Amino acid sequence: GAVVSQHPSWVICKSGTSVKIECRSLDFQATTMFWYRQFPKQSLMLMATSNEGSKATYEQGVEKDKFLINHASLTLSTLTVTSAHPEDSSFYICSAALVVGYGNTIYFGEGSWLTVV
């Protein structure tokens, strides 16, 4: 089946630094990728929708300048957390949409645990 790879799985960074998370669709082309954030014991909160070759569409309340999203190719989207602070510590997860005929499935990456110290 379709596979979405996310890297890194775990990252610890110092407050004030930037961290980049990559999301790759390994065996299919994804024109649309989604970035979510999940706090413990809560559901996934959509941060932004990333479309290949265009600017990401951010959800209300998500800072565009803090969470930079780039979707440079049909198989890669990146999320950069700039000037990270401890409150940015969370589980970040991407997903990619695969459309086959009338079918439509969204596959998730493994997720990235970010800890800002």
Partner 1 sequence: GQNIDQPTEMTATEGAIVQINCTYQTSGFNGLFWYQQHAGEAPTFLSYNVLDGLEEKGRFSSFLSRSKGYSYLLLKELQMKDSASYLCAVRARSGGYQKVTFGTGTKLQVIP
Q: Which residues bind partner 1 (CB under 8 A)?
A: 32, 34, 36, 42-46, 49, 51, 57, 59, 93, 95, 97, 102-111
Name which of 94, 64, 80, 65 is nearest 18 in CA terms.
80
Measured from the CB atom, the residue of 58 and 66 that comes closer to partner 1 is 58
- Residues 108 and 93: beta-carbon distance below 8 Å: yes
Cβ at position 43, least distance to partner 1 in Å: 4
Cβ at position 45, least distance to partner 1 in Å: 8
Distance CA(12)–CA(19), nearest Å, equals 9
Measured from the CB atom, the residue of 18 and 27 that comes closer to partner 1 is 27
Cβ at position 112, least distance to partner 1 in Å: 10
Examine residue 86 and say whether the peptide bond preceding it is cis (omega within 30 degrees of 0). Answer: no
Residue owning tokens 């499935």: 105
Virtual torsion, Cα 9, 45, 32, 100, nearest 10 deg: 90
φ, ψ of residue 43 to 5 degrees: the values are: -80, 180
Measured from the CB atom, the residue of 49 and 70 that comes closer to partner 1 is 49
Cβ at position 86, least distance to partner 1 in Å: 20
Measured from the CB atom, the residue of 13 and 106 that comes closer to partner 1 is 106
